[in-house]
Structure 1
Amino acid sequence: MRQIVLDTETTGLDPKEGHRIIEMGCVEMINRRITDRYYHQFLQPDRQIEVAASRVHGITHEFLRDKPRFANVVTELMAFIQGAELIIHNASFDVGFINHELQLLQQNWQPLSHYCSITDTLTLARERHPGQKNSLDALCKRYNVDNSNRQLHGALLDARLLAEVYLAMTGGQVSLLSCQETNQVNNEAAIKRVHSERPPLKVVIPTSMELQAHEQKLVVIEKMSGGKCLWQALEQS
């Protein structure tokens, strides 16, 4: 199962008013594990960024002057996400902008839902936590996802945080590690150390009747296994 957690930053709130995408971030998950593969791109929007939007993500028009346009990266983007389930927070916003960009190209691109299934984590969060704040920051706090580096919004950072939130919210693996690193951590975590100050375990002595039943059971196992009852061999050694 391949999932792509996707986020965008834009020049404003509404593509119908001519606003454009200026940053895209995508994080790949395979079988509910975050992989090392991602897609990240800043874009030249050919228009000014609204002051309010710039306050949110900190991206300036000057920074984007030498960045590629959406038309230059659309093939690469669509190849990365095609066939995957897209995980997006407030999906109508990001999907609306991507569909608008595809339409502007006039290259016979279909709406995003033609290439990918789409899951909206905002809808999912509202179902699980009705009447509560369900912003990405609020969900990070609720699910103990560290977002201390999120001073400003950023498409790739937010996609990574959303991946952890989504996995926690749906009861799965929560890690920014690769599959190999995650397996190593899980194996190490399986070793449990007994505290030196723990009281001694209670020793239960079997009764004579229990010992007799045990010996009879070993005889049956020895017979059924063709003389391969290891427990009986150890007791006789």
Structure 2
Amino acid sequence: MRQIMLDTETTGLDPSRGHRVVELACVEMVNRTLTGRHLHLYLNPDRDSDPEALAIHGLTTEFLSEHPRFEDVAHQLVDYVKDAEVIIHNAAFDTKFLNAELNRIGLPAFDTLCAKVTDSLLHARELHPGKRNSLDALCERYGISNAHRTLHGALLDSELLADVWIAMTRGQDALLMDFEDEGGMDSNGVRIERFDASVLKVLWANPEEIRQHEDYLAGLDKASGGPCLWRAAAA
């Protein structure tokens, strides 16, 4: 299973007002493992960024003027996303811009170029209704460090999204699955073989380990002023 985490930076908020994509990044995962095969492009938009957008991504007109235009590298994007599920945080925003760029050069809509577009923001809202579900908020919720994120950058945000996506969907990695047959498929179409717990080796505690455990429970009893939960349960 091939999945692509995608993010863009733009000159503004609305492509219908002439705003353009200035940075595009894709991070590849195969079977939920990062491959290191990234696509990262800076793009010359032939215009200035709005001050608000510039404050977010920091990509100046002078810097971007030294990079190719979208039409010069569009084939790289088309080839890269082919047959993959593309995961985007707030997909409506990015696909709106990508569709405008593709339409400008006579190419079809973005969702026709890949196997599927998945909005990780919608997925997060289903998991955490009523809570903040920005990429920063999800990083904090799942214990993913984004301390190095001072400005928004498409590549960094794609890499963070990959970590967040794995954390949000980690239930798909469970080893103990209850299937009627010899295996099954998770929600992403990956086959999971039936797990036979009888093959696990049992390691019994030795006398010294048992003694240390009893000493630890005795310390808990003393600290709590009575039998700890483990002793109470045993009784």
Contact 1:44 1:65 in 2 (8 A): yes
Determine helix, strand or coil for the equivalent of 1:83: coil
Q: Deviation of residue 112 (structure 1)?
A: 1.1
Structure 1 unaligned residues grouped into runs of 5+: 175-197, 204-237
- What does residue range 41-120 of structure 1 map to in structure 2 within 5 Å? 41-106=41-106, 109-116=107-114, 117-120=116-119
Instruction: Rate the CA distance shift 1:72–1:200 in 2: closer, same or farther, 3 A.
Output: same
Partner of 2:152: 153
Partner of 1:193: none
The runs of at least 4 consecutive aligned structure 1 residues that moved more than 3 Å come to none
Partner of 2:136: 137
CA distance in 2, matches of 1:62, 1:173: 45
Q: Which of 190, 198, 208 is matched with 1:200 structurally?
A: 208
Aligned residues: 178
Contact 1:33 1:173 in 2 (8 A): no
Pairwise CA RMSD of aligned residues? 1.8
CA distance in 1, matches of 2:11, 2:29: 28
Q: Which has the larger radius of gyration?
A: 1
Q: Deviation of residue 202 (structure 1)?
A: 4.0
TM-score by length of 1: 0.72
Instruction: Rate the CA distance shift 1:31–1:172 in 2: closer, same or farther, 3 A.
Output: farther
CA distance in 1, matches of 2:82, 2:74: 12
CA distance in 2, matches of 1:115, 1:59: 28
Whether 1:14 and 2:22 are equivalent positions in the alignment is no
- 1:115 alignment partner AA: L
Determine helix, strand or coil for the equivalent of 2:45: coil
Partner of 2:37: 37
Q: Deviation of residue 40 (structure 1)?
A: 0.2
Contact 1:15 1:100 in 2 (8 A): yes
- 1:201 alignment partner AA: E
Determine helix, strand or coil for the equivalent of 1:200: helix
Contact 1:11 1:54 in 2 (8 A): yes
CA distance in 1, matches of 2:109, 2:96: 9
Name the structure, 1 or 2, with higher relative contact order (CA <8 Å, separation 6+): 1
TM-score by length of 2: 0.73
Q: Deviation of residue 172 (structure 1)?
A: 6.4
- 2:158 alignment partner AA: A
- What does residue range 154-193 of structure 1 map to in structure 2 within 5 Å? 154-171=153-170
CA deviations over 1:69-125 (Å, ceiling 9, x no partner): 00000011110111100010000000110010000012xx21111122000000000
Partner of 2:224: none
CA deviations over 1:182-204 (Å, ceiling 9, x no partner): xxxxxxxxxxxxxxxx981349x
- 1:122 alignment partner AA: L
CA deviations over 1:22-53 (Å, ceiling 9, x no partner): 00010000001111100000000011100000
Structure 2 unaligned residues grouped into runs of 5+: 174-205, 212-235
